[in-house]
Protein backbone atom coordinates (compact mmCIF):
# COMPACT_ATOMS: atom_id res chain seq x y z
CA UNK A 1 0.00 0.00 0.00
CA UNK A 2 1.19 3.62 -0.42
CA UNK A 3 3.75 4.37 2.25
CA UNK A 4 5.48 7.49 1.06
CA UNK A 5 2.92 10.29 1.22
CA UNK A 6 4.54 12.44 3.87
CA UNK A 7 3.05 15.34 5.75
CA UNK A 8 5.36 16.83 8.35
CA UNK A 9 3.66 18.31 11.38
CA UNK A 10 5.67 20.04 14.07
CA UNK A 11 4.11 20.49 17.48
CA UNK A 12 5.62 22.89 20.01
CA UNK A 13 4.24 22.33 23.52
CA UNK A 14 5.02 24.75 26.31
CA UNK A 15 4.65 23.10 29.72
CA UNK A 16 4.79 24.70 33.13
CA UNK A 17 4.95 23.31 36.62
CA UNK A 18 6.66 20.11 35.42
CA UNK A 19 8.79 19.85 38.53
CA UNK A 20 5.76 18.99 40.63
CA UNK A 21 4.49 16.23 38.34
CA UNK A 22 6.72 13.53 39.79
CA UNK A 23 5.20 14.19 43.20
CA UNK A 24 1.63 13.75 42.05
CA UNK A 25 -0.29 10.56 42.52
CA UNK A 26 -0.40 8.25 39.50
CA UNK A 27 -3.77 8.86 37.84
CA UNK A 28 -6.30 6.09 37.76
CA UNK A 29 -6.98 4.46 34.45
CA UNK A 30 -9.80 6.13 32.60
CA UNK A 31 -12.45 3.82 31.23
CA UNK A 32 -12.42 2.44 27.70
CA UNK A 33 -15.41 2.86 25.44
CA UNK A 34 -15.99 0.30 22.66
CA UNK A 35 -17.13 2.39 19.72
CA UNK A 36 -17.41 -0.25 16.98
CA UNK A 37 -16.97 -4.01 16.59
CA UNK A 38 -16.85 -6.07 13.40
CA UNK A 39 -16.10 -9.65 12.34
CA UNK A 40 -13.65 -10.28 9.50
CA UNK A 41 -12.82 -13.29 7.35
CA UNK A 42 -10.28 -15.84 8.50
CA UNK A 43 -8.17 -16.07 5.32
CA UNK A 44 -5.45 -13.89 6.95
CA UNK A 45 -4.79 -12.13 3.64
CA UNK A 46 -6.77 -8.99 4.42
CA UNK A 47 -8.98 -7.29 6.99
CA UNK A 48 -12.18 -5.91 5.46
CA UNK A 49 -14.68 -3.92 7.51
CA UNK A 50 -17.93 -2.20 6.47
CA UNK A 51 -18.33 1.55 6.02
CA UNK A 52 -21.87 2.96 5.90
CA UNK A 53 -22.46 5.90 3.63
CA UNK A 54 -25.85 7.36 2.71
CA UNK A 55 -27.67 4.16 3.65
CA UNK A 56 -25.36 1.81 1.74
CA UNK A 57 -22.52 -0.41 2.96
CA UNK A 58 -19.07 -0.44 1.37
CA UNK A 59 -16.06 -2.71 1.96
CA UNK A 60 -12.89 -0.99 3.17
CA UNK A 61 -9.45 -2.50 3.71
CA UNK A 62 -7.96 -1.81 7.15
CA UNK A 63 -4.45 -0.64 6.31
CA UNK A 64 -2.00 0.82 8.82
CA UNK A 65 0.54 0.90 5.97
CA UNK A 66 -1.42 3.65 4.19
CA UNK A 67 -0.92 7.27 5.22
CA UNK A 68 -4.31 8.32 3.89
CA UNK A 69 -7.89 7.08 3.78
CA UNK A 70 -8.71 6.30 0.15
CA UNK A 71 -11.96 5.99 -1.82
CA UNK A 72 -12.23 4.14 -5.12
CA UNK A 73 -12.72 6.40 -8.14
CA UNK A 74 -16.04 4.64 -8.84
CA UNK A 75 -17.44 6.59 -5.86
CA UNK A 76 -16.33 10.00 -7.13
CA UNK A 77 -19.82 10.92 -8.31
CA UNK A 78 -21.08 10.65 -4.72
CA UNK A 79 -18.37 12.90 -3.29
CA UNK A 80 -19.79 16.38 -3.36
CA UNK A 81 -17.06 17.90 -1.20
CA UNK A 82 -14.73 20.57 -2.48
CA UNK A 83 -11.69 19.60 -4.53
CA UNK A 84 -8.60 20.43 -2.44
CA UNK A 85 -5.41 19.47 -4.32
CA UNK A 86 -3.50 16.49 -5.72
CA UNK A 87 -1.25 14.30 -3.62
CA UNK A 88 1.74 12.39 -4.93
CA UNK A 89 3.49 9.29 -3.64
CA UNK A 90 4.69 5.76 -4.31
CA UNK A 91 3.02 2.39 -3.91
CA UNK A 92 4.74 -0.49 -2.06
CA UNK A 93 6.51 -1.49 -5.29
CA UNK A 94 8.04 1.98 -5.64
CA UNK A 95 5.80 3.12 -8.48
CA UNK A 96 4.69 6.77 -8.52
CA UNK A 97 1.05 7.81 -8.41
CA UNK A 98 -1.01 10.98 -8.22
CA UNK A 99 -4.43 11.22 -6.60
CA UNK A 100 -7.15 13.83 -6.26
CA UNK A 101 -7.95 14.88 -2.70
CA UNK A 102 -11.41 15.97 -1.55
CA UNK A 103 -13.22 16.76 1.67
CA UNK A 104 -14.19 13.63 3.61
CA UNK A 105 -17.89 12.69 3.46
CA UNK A 106 -20.23 11.73 6.31
CA UNK A 107 -19.42 8.02 6.11
CA UNK A 108 -19.35 5.84 9.21
CA UNK A 109 -17.35 2.95 10.67
CA UNK A 110 -19.93 1.94 13.24
CA UNK A 111 -20.47 5.24 15.06
CA UNK A 112 -17.12 6.70 13.91
CA UNK A 113 -17.36 9.43 11.29
CA UNK A 114 -14.76 9.51 8.51
CA UNK A 115 -15.13 13.28 8.51
CA UNK A 116 -12.56 13.19 11.31
CA UNK A 117 -10.00 12.64 8.52
CA UNK A 118 -10.91 16.09 7.09
CA UNK A 119 -9.99 14.84 3.61
CA UNK A 120 -9.75 11.62 1.57
CA UNK A 121 -7.93 10.68 -1.64
CA UNK A 122 -9.42 9.12 -4.78
CA UNK A 123 -7.63 6.18 -6.43
CA UNK A 124 -8.57 3.38 -8.79
CA UNK A 125 -8.61 0.18 -6.68
CA UNK A 126 -9.45 -2.23 -9.52
CA UNK A 127 -6.18 -4.12 -9.05
CA UNK A 128 -6.89 -4.81 -5.38
CA UNK A 129 -10.36 -6.11 -6.19
CA UNK A 130 -8.84 -8.43 -8.78
CA UNK A 131 -6.17 -9.68 -6.36
CA UNK A 132 -8.52 -10.38 -3.45
CA UNK A 133 -11.44 -11.43 -5.66
CA UNK A 134 -13.67 -9.25 -3.52
CA UNK A 135 -15.22 -5.82 -3.70
CA UNK A 136 -12.92 -3.23 -2.13
CA UNK A 137 -14.37 0.26 -2.20
CA UNK A 138 -11.75 2.02 -0.11
CA UNK A 139 -8.91 1.88 2.38
CA UNK A 140 -8.97 3.03 5.99
CA UNK A 141 -5.58 4.67 6.53
CA UNK A 142 -3.65 6.10 9.43
CA UNK A 143 -5.16 9.57 9.21
CA UNK A 144 -8.34 7.93 10.56
CA UNK A 145 -6.99 4.99 12.60
CA UNK A 146 -4.44 6.93 14.68
CA UNK A 147 -7.26 8.46 16.75
CA UNK A 148 -8.31 5.13 18.26
CA UNK A 149 -7.26 1.97 20.03
CA UNK A 150 -7.68 -0.76 17.41
CA UNK A 151 -7.78 -4.36 18.65
CA UNK A 152 -7.51 -7.16 16.09
CA UNK A 153 -8.26 -10.66 17.41
CA UNK A 154 -7.09 -13.10 14.75
CA UNK A 155 -8.24 -16.08 16.83
CA UNK A 156 -11.86 -14.88 16.97
CA UNK A 157 -11.65 -12.95 13.66
CA UNK A 158 -12.96 -9.83 15.34
CA UNK A 159 -11.87 -6.18 15.36
CA UNK A 160 -12.84 -3.60 18.00
CA UNK A 161 -12.34 0.18 18.01
CA UNK A 162 -11.90 1.70 21.48
CA UNK A 163 -11.46 5.23 22.67
CA UNK A 164 -10.37 6.24 26.14
CA UNK A 165 -12.29 9.03 27.81
CA UNK A 166 -10.08 12.09 28.19
CA UNK A 167 -7.74 12.55 31.13
CA UNK A 168 -7.62 16.10 32.43
CA UNK A 169 -4.48 15.62 34.52
CA UNK A 170 -1.39 16.62 32.54
CA UNK A 171 0.69 14.08 34.50
CA UNK A 172 -0.98 11.30 32.48
CA UNK A 173 1.13 12.49 29.54
CA UNK A 174 4.31 11.64 31.42
CA UNK A 175 3.11 8.49 33.17
CA UNK A 176 4.59 5.28 31.78
CA UNK A 177 1.98 3.26 29.92
CA UNK A 178 3.95 0.01 30.19
CA UNK A 179 1.73 -2.94 31.14
CA UNK A 180 -1.27 -0.74 31.80
CA UNK A 181 -3.32 -3.43 30.07
CA UNK A 182 -1.49 -6.71 30.72
CA UNK A 183 -4.64 -8.60 29.69
CA UNK A 184 -3.97 -7.38 26.16
CA UNK A 185 -0.55 -9.03 26.08
CA UNK A 186 3.02 -7.78 26.09
CA UNK A 187 3.44 -4.03 25.71
CA UNK A 188 5.82 -2.74 23.04
CA UNK A 189 6.60 0.97 22.44
CA UNK A 190 5.00 2.25 19.24
CA UNK A 191 5.92 5.45 17.45
CA UNK A 192 4.34 7.34 14.57
CA UNK A 193 6.90 8.38 11.99
CA UNK A 194 7.03 11.62 10.03
CA UNK A 195 5.24 9.66 7.28
CA UNK A 196 2.34 9.05 9.67
CA UNK A 197 2.92 5.29 9.79
CA UNK A 198 3.29 3.16 12.95
CA UNK A 199 6.74 1.74 13.76
CA UNK A 200 8.04 -0.73 16.35
CA UNK A 201 11.57 -1.81 17.10
CA UNK A 202 12.68 -5.37 16.43
CA UNK A 203 15.94 -6.94 17.56
CA UNK A 204 18.14 -9.46 15.72
CA UNK A 205 20.23 -10.67 18.66
CA UNK A 206 23.85 -9.69 18.07
CA UNK A 207 22.99 -7.83 14.84
CA UNK A 208 21.21 -5.07 16.74
CA UNK A 209 17.85 -3.30 16.49
CA UNK A 210 15.81 -1.95 13.60
CA UNK A 211 12.50 -0.16 13.02
CA UNK A 212 9.61 -1.96 11.31
CA UNK A 213 6.37 -0.61 9.85
CA UNK A 214 3.29 -2.32 11.31
CA UNK A 215 1.24 -2.88 8.15
CA UNK A 216 -2.18 -4.54 8.43
CA UNK A 217 -2.75 -4.06 4.69
CA UNK A 218 0.17 -6.26 3.70
CA UNK A 219 -0.13 -10.04 3.75
CA UNK A 220 3.38 -10.82 2.50
CA UNK A 221 4.76 -14.28 1.80
CA UNK A 222 6.73 -14.77 5.02
CA UNK A 223 5.87 -15.38 8.67
CA UNK A 224 8.50 -12.82 9.70
CA UNK A 225 8.25 -9.89 7.37
CA UNK A 226 10.29 -7.77 4.99
CA UNK A 227 13.76 -6.26 5.43
CA UNK A 228 15.04 -3.25 3.56
CA UNK A 229 18.32 -3.48 1.69
CA UNK A 230 20.46 -1.92 4.41
CA UNK A 231 19.04 -4.16 7.12
CA UNK A 232 19.26 -7.23 4.89
CA UNK A 233 22.98 -6.67 4.37
CA UNK A 234 23.46 -6.39 8.12
CA UNK A 235 21.66 -9.51 9.37
CA UNK A 236 21.48 -12.05 6.55
CA UNK A 237 23.81 -15.06 6.91
CA UNK A 238 25.87 -16.37 4.03
CA UNK A 239 23.10 -18.76 2.96
CA UNK A 240 19.95 -17.52 1.24
CA UNK A 241 16.64 -18.79 -0.02
CA UNK A 242 15.47 -17.64 -3.41
CA UNK A 243 12.03 -17.72 -4.93
CA UNK A 244 9.55 -15.85 -7.09
CA UNK A 245 7.18 -13.34 -5.53
CA UNK A 246 3.84 -12.13 -6.82
CA UNK A 247 1.66 -9.45 -5.23
CA UNK A 248 -0.49 -6.51 -6.19
CA UNK A 249 -0.94 -2.87 -5.27
CA UNK A 250 -3.65 -0.44 -6.36
CA UNK A 251 -1.46 0.36 -9.38
CA UNK A 252 -1.49 -3.22 -10.64
CA UNK A 253 0.17 -6.63 -10.22
CA UNK A 254 3.88 -7.01 -9.43
CA UNK A 255 6.02 -10.06 -10.26
CA UNK A 256 9.54 -10.32 -8.87
CA UNK A 257 11.69 -13.28 -9.85
CA UNK A 258 14.45 -14.91 -7.85
CA UNK A 259 13.83 -12.81 -4.74
CA UNK A 260 16.08 -13.27 -1.74
CA UNK A 261 14.55 -14.89 1.36
CA UNK A 262 16.29 -15.90 4.59
CA UNK A 263 15.49 -17.63 7.86
CA UNK A 264 16.52 -15.62 10.92
CA UNK A 265 17.51 -17.72 13.91
CA UNK A 266 16.22 -15.32 16.57
CA UNK A 267 14.02 -12.22 16.39
CA UNK A 268 12.65 -10.19 19.29
CA UNK A 269 9.84 -7.67 19.55
CA UNK A 270 9.85 -6.19 23.04
CA UNK A 271 9.89 -9.11 25.49
CA UNK A 272 8.64 -11.62 22.90
CA UNK A 273 11.17 -13.98 21.29
CA UNK A 274 10.67 -15.80 17.97
CA UNK A 275 12.88 -18.50 16.45
CA UNK A 276 13.38 -19.34 12.78
CA UNK A 277 11.20 -16.66 11.21
CA UNK A 278 11.37 -16.16 7.46
CA UNK A 279 12.13 -12.68 6.10
CA UNK A 280 12.40 -11.45 2.53
CA UNK A 281 14.29 -8.55 1.00
CA UNK A 282 12.14 -5.56 0.00
CA UNK A 283 12.08 -1.76 -0.19
CA UNK A 284 10.90 -1.31 3.42
CA UNK A 285 11.22 -3.21 6.68
CA UNK A 286 7.69 -4.41 7.48
CA UNK A 287 5.81 -6.64 9.90
CA UNK A 288 2.61 -7.53 8.05
CA UNK A 289 -0.21 -10.01 8.48
CA UNK A 290 2.16 -12.96 8.06
CA UNK A 291 3.62 -12.02 11.45
CA UNK A 292 0.70 -10.25 13.14
CA UNK A 293 -1.86 -13.02 12.47
CA UNK A 294 -0.27 -15.26 15.13
CA UNK A 295 -1.35 -12.79 17.83
CA UNK A 296 -4.13 -10.76 19.27
CA UNK A 297 -2.92 -7.31 18.27
CA UNK A 298 -3.90 -4.11 20.07
CA UNK A 299 -2.71 -0.89 18.46
CA UNK A 300 -3.07 1.77 21.15
CA UNK A 301 -2.29 4.73 18.93
CA UNK A 302 -3.21 7.48 21.45
CA UNK A 303 -0.78 6.03 24.02
CA UNK A 304 1.83 4.92 21.42
CA UNK A 305 1.78 1.28 22.55
CA UNK A 306 1.48 -2.00 20.67
CA UNK A 307 0.22 -5.01 22.64
CA UNK A 308 0.95 -8.50 21.34
CA UNK A 309 -0.56 -11.67 22.81
CA UNK A 310 0.51 -14.89 21.11
CA UNK A 311 -2.43 -17.04 20.07
CA UNK A 312 -0.53 -19.73 18.17
CA UNK A 313 3.08 -20.61 17.55
CA UNK A 314 4.71 -19.50 14.34
CA UNK A 315 5.37 -22.43 12.01
CA UNK A 316 8.23 -22.03 9.53
CA UNK A 317 7.99 -23.83 6.22
CA UNK A 318 9.97 -22.62 3.23
CA UNK A 319 9.87 -23.55 -0.42
CA UNK A 320 12.49 -22.65 -2.96
CA UNK A 321 16.22 -23.20 -2.99
CA UNK A 322 19.28 -22.48 -0.89
CA UNK A 323 22.10 -20.65 -2.62
CA UNK A 324 25.52 -21.43 -1.16
CA UNK A 325 27.67 -18.36 -1.50
CA UNK A 326 31.32 -19.09 -2.20
CA UNK A 327 30.45 -22.62 -3.38
CA UNK A 328 28.43 -21.51 -6.42
CA UNK A 329 25.55 -23.99 -6.35
CA UNK A 330 22.01 -24.16 -5.01
CA UNK A 331 19.83 -26.97 -3.66
CA UNK A 332 16.11 -27.52 -3.21
CA UNK A 333 13.83 -30.17 -1.69
CA UNK A 334 12.04 -32.55 -4.02
CA UNK A 335 9.85 -35.27 -2.48
CA UNK A 336 11.96 -35.43 0.65
CA UNK A 337 15.26 -35.46 -1.20
CA UNK A 338 17.79 -32.61 -1.28
CA UNK A 339 18.61 -32.09 -4.94
CA UNK A 340 21.23 -29.87 -6.58
CA UNK A 341 19.15 -27.34 -8.51
CA UNK A 342 21.75 -25.24 -10.30
CA UNK A 343 25.53 -24.86 -10.59
CA UNK A 344 27.50 -21.82 -11.68
CA UNK A 345 29.60 -22.65 -14.73
CA UNK A 346 33.30 -22.62 -13.89
CA UNK A 347 32.63 -22.29 -10.16
CA UNK A 348 34.04 -24.38 -7.29
CA UNK A 349 31.14 -26.88 -7.29
CA UNK A 350 31.46 -27.64 -11.00
CA UNK A 351 35.24 -27.99 -10.72
CA UNK A 352 34.78 -30.49 -7.87
CA UNK A 353 32.52 -32.64 -10.04
CA UNK A 354 29.07 -31.75 -8.68
CA UNK A 355 26.24 -31.98 -11.23
CA UNK A 356 22.67 -30.71 -11.46
CA UNK A 357 20.28 -33.42 -10.26
CA UNK A 358 22.73 -34.91 -7.74
CA UNK A 359 21.12 -35.86 -4.43
CA UNK A 360 22.92 -34.75 -1.26
CA UNK A 361 23.02 -37.66 1.17
CA UNK A 362 25.79 -36.78 3.62
CA UNK A 363 27.39 -33.44 4.46
CA UNK A 364 30.49 -33.50 6.68
CA UNK A 365 29.60 -37.02 7.96
CA UNK A 366 26.07 -35.88 8.80
CA UNK A 367 23.22 -37.81 7.13
CA UNK A 368 20.84 -35.16 5.79
CA UNK A 369 18.28 -37.44 4.13
CA UNK A 370 14.75 -36.31 4.91
CA UNK A 371 15.81 -33.01 6.43
CA UNK A 372 13.65 -29.93 6.04
CA UNK A 373 15.06 -26.90 4.29
CA UNK A 374 15.13 -25.01 7.59
CA UNK A 375 17.24 -27.73 9.25
CA UNK A 376 19.55 -27.84 6.26
CA UNK A 377 19.78 -24.06 6.17
CA UNK A 378 21.11 -23.70 9.70
CA UNK A 379 23.36 -26.76 9.50
CA UNK A 380 25.04 -25.38 6.39
CA UNK A 381 25.33 -21.98 8.03
CA UNK A 382 27.03 -23.50 11.10
CA UNK A 383 29.58 -25.52 9.15
CA UNK A 384 30.34 -22.64 6.79
CA UNK A 385 32.36 -21.10 9.63
CA UNK A 386 34.51 -24.19 10.20
CA UNK A 387 36.64 -24.32 7.09
CA UNK A 388 37.02 -23.69 3.38
CA UNK A 389 35.96 -27.17 2.20
CA UNK A 390 32.50 -28.71 2.00
CA UNK A 391 32.69 -32.54 2.05
CA UNK A 392 29.74 -34.32 0.42
CA UNK A 393 28.41 -37.77 -0.35
CA UNK A 394 26.09 -37.46 -3.36
CA UNK A 395 23.88 -40.00 -5.08
CA UNK A 396 24.00 -40.10 -8.88
CA UNK A 397 22.46 -42.80 -11.10
CA UNK A 398 22.57 -45.41 -8.33
CA UNK A 399 26.15 -44.62 -7.27
CA UNK A 400 27.46 -42.75 -4.21
CA UNK A 401 30.27 -40.28 -4.90
CA UNK A 402 32.52 -38.46 -2.44
CA UNK A 403 33.25 -34.84 -3.33
CA UNK A 404 35.10 -32.00 -1.63
CA UNK A 405 34.31 -28.46 -2.75
CA UNK A 406 36.78 -25.71 -1.97
CA UNK A 407 35.04 -22.49 -0.98
CA UNK A 408 35.68 -19.50 -3.23
CA UNK A 409 37.67 -16.68 -1.65
44-73 residue pLDDT tens: 788 999 999 999 999 999 999 998 899 999
What pLDDT, on a 0 to 100 scale, did the predictor assign at position 118?
86
65, 98, 70, 93: which is closest to 248 by C-alpha? Answer: 93
Percent of the chain whose pLDDT exceeds 90: 39
Choose between 87 and 403: higher pLDDT. 403
Q: CATH for 321-406?
A: 2.30.42.10
Lowest-confidence pick of 7-16, 114-123, 186-195, 210-219 = 7-16
- Selection from 78-92, 143-157, 239-253, 317-331 with the highest mean pLDDT: 143-157
Q: Is the pLDDT of residue 356 over 50?
A: yes
Q: Tens digits of per-residue pLDDT, 232-276? A: 888 765 555 555 444 444 444 444 445 677 778 789 999 999 887
Q: Is the pLDDT of residue 400 over 50?
A: yes
Which residues, listed in sequence order, are joined to residue 297 by a DSSP beta bridge? 152, 308
**Could you check whether 36-160 and 187-310 share the same CATH topology?**
yes
Q: Sorting pLDDT into bands at 50, 70 and 90, what band is 149? A: very high
Lowest-confidence pick of 25-39, 181-195, 232-246 = 232-246
User: What does pTM read for this prediction?
Assistant: 0.74
Domain 187-310 in CATH 3.40.50.300? The answer is: no
Whole-number Å distance between alpha carbons of 10 and 96: 26
Q: What are the start-end ranges of the E strands in 20-169?
A: 32-39, 48-53, 56-62, 70-72, 83-90, 96-103, 107-109, 112-113, 119-123, 138-140, 149-153, 158-164
The residue extents of the domains of the chain are 36-160, 187-310, 321-406
Phi-psi region of 144 (alpha: psi -120 to 50; beta: other; left: phi over 0): alpha
For the purposes of burial, counting CB atoms within 10 Å of the CB of 164, is it exposed (0-12), middle (13-18) or buried (19 or more)? Answer: middle
Cβ contacts of residue 246 below 8 Å, gap of 6+? 253, 254, 255, 256
For the purposes of burial, counting CB atoms within 10 Å of the CB of 309, is it exposed (0-12), middle (13-18) or buried (19 or more)? Answer: middle
Section 316-339 average pLDDT = 74
* pLDDT, mean over the chain: 79
Section 272-296 average pLDDT = 89
Choose between 136 and 11: higher pLDDT. 136
Section 152-160 average pLDDT = 93
Section 3-7 average pLDDT = 38
R_g of the chain computed on alpha carbons: 25
Please give the backbone phi and psi of residue 158, each rounded to the nearest 5 degrees, phi first: -140, 145
Report how far apart, in Å, the C-alpha atoms of 390 and of each of 84, 321, 322, 329, 407 are.
64, 18, 15, 12, 7
What pLDDT, on a 0 to 100 scale, did the predictor assign at position 300?
95
Domain 36-160 in CATH 2.40.70.10? The answer is: yes
Query: Residue 302 has what DSSP assignment?
Result: T
What pLDDT, on a 0 to 100 scale, did the predictor assign at position 97?
73
What pLDDT, on a 0 to 100 scale, did the predictor assign at position 29?
56
- Selection from 104-113, 335-344, 383-392 with the highest mean pLDDT: 104-113
Amino acid sequence: MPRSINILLVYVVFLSGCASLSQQTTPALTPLVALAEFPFSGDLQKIIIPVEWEGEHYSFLLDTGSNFTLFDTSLKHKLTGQYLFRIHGKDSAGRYFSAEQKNAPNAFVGSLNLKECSSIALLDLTSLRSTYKQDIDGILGMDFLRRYIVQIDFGCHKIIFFKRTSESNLSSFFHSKKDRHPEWGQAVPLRLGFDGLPYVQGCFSSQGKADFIIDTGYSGACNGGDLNEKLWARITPKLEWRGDRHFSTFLGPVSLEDQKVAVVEMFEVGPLVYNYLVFQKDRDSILGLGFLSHHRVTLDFPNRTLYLKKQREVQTTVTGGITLKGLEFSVACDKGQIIVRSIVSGGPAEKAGLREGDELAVIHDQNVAGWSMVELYFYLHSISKKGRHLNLHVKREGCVLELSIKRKE
